[in-house]
Amino acid sequence: MTALSLRGLNKSFGTVDVIKDVNLDVEQGEFTVFVGPSGCGKSTLLRLIAGLEDATSGEVYIDDNLMNMTPPAKRGIAMVFQSYALYPHLTVRGNMTLALKQEGLARKVIDERVDEAARMLDLASYLDRRPAALSGGQRQRVAIGRAVVRQPKLFLFDEPLSNLDAALRMNTRLEISTLHRSLQATIIYVTHDQTEAMTLADKIVVLRDGRVEQIGTPLELYNHPANQFVAGFLGSPAMNFFPAAQLGSEHGTIAGIRPEHLRVDPDGPLQGKVIHVEKLGGDTNIVVNLSDGPNITVRLFGQHAHAANDDIKIGFDRSHMLVFDAAGNTITSAA
């Protein structure tokens, strides 16, 4: 069953076109991530789904019902913001129950929903505290819990982890993923962080300048990007790009190889000098200035003794090479 459909959706602010002819279907229970660089329109697209912005043209359907003229409160959605948006004078329980009380639900139903959400999000011992007494990660869990108790048709997350440090981001990603499986919820999640997109999504929607560049599973987009933009955006470290002829390709203009598909090889065709080494413990990233080309990154598994100013040769497997035409479209995909 289709939970959300966007048909020919456009949004302009004056003469500036922010969303351009977006078409998308999200299935029931699917975790869909909108990802792209800052300013690509992903948060505006989420606000159009929520009804916080009016579309210039096109249609928004939730459960096959046209929503363009339906106010946000009647769309069956719950939204989690980057800023948490908690009421400071209310306790955790008060923040989680407020919308339910406004709906006129019975006290027993409200208590059951809040207790269950608190259990799922490990908030039971914090229900009587106010937001000021909580850490950033705990506040974000309260914001998520406030959405969960409403039992919406759609959960909308707008950059929910961007205010958290690296360790908390990883923990909260796990909590959101576990929540998705537990509730079998339909989630639309906006982020500029491609790691969040790759680790959370059933389906990724890559946006650039208000347009959809590609839609697919994380590994579909990683292994078979439709164009150079998608290839370069997904992956950390980012894909290396070369003039196609430099890698021996008779087709296309640009060739791309991911860092993990390059190797140190005394007989390799690429020669250069190491200019930077990142020793990460489990991995080693080497940045190499090629003698006849760009700087490239080589990702090696494990620990290695390479150092800046080392002369080095790099090899690669042609089956992992992608080739792009002059417009940036993929013409040869990796194996």
Task: Write down the residue that tokens 């700087």 correspond to.
Answer: 295
The 3-state DSSP class for residue 147 equals helix
Residues spanned by CATH 2.40.50.140 within the chain? Answer: 242-332
For residue 277, pLDDT over 90 is answered with yes
Binned at pLDDT 50, 70 and 90, residue 266 comes out as very high
Residue 81, pLDDT score: 86
What's the pLDDT tens digit per position in 24-57? 999 999 999 999 999 999 999 999 999 999 999 9
For residue 249, pLDDT over 90 is answered with no
Task: Write down the residue that tokens 């959605």 correspond to.
Answer: 77
Residues spanned by CATH 3.40.50.300 within the chain? Answer: 2-229
Tell me the β-bridge partners of 10. Answer: 57
What's the pLDDT tens digit per position in 66-83? 999 999 999 999 999 888
Q: Is residue 324 within 8 Å of residue 317, measured between CB atoms?
A: no
For residue 315, pLDDT over 70 is answered with yes
Which superfamily, per CATH, for 242-332?
A: Nucleic acid-binding proteins (2.40.50.140)
Most confidently modeled range among 66-70, 248-252, 316-320: 66-70
Q: Report how far residue 115's alpha carbon sits from residue 314's, in angstroms, rounded to the nearest whole number.
A: 57
2-229 classified as CATH 3.30.70.3270? no
Which are the contacts of 203, defined by CB distance < 8 A and separation ≥ 6? 26, 30, 31, 32, 33, 215, 216, 217
Percent of the chain with pLDDT over 90: 81
For residue 333, pLDDT over 70 is answered with no
Q: Is residue 137 within 8 Å of residue 169, measured between CB atoms?
A: no
CA angle, residues 59, 60, 63, in degrees to nearest 5: 130
Residue 107's alpha-carbon distances to 96, 102, 124, 148, 298, in angstroms, are: 13, 12, 18, 17, 59
Calculate the average pLDDT of the chain.
93
Binned at pLDDT 50, 70 and 90, residue 172 comes out as confident
What's the pLDDT tens digit per position in 196-241? 999 999 999 999 999 999 999 999 999 999 999 999 999 999 999 9
Residue 289, pLDDT score: 96
Residue 301, pLDDT score: 95
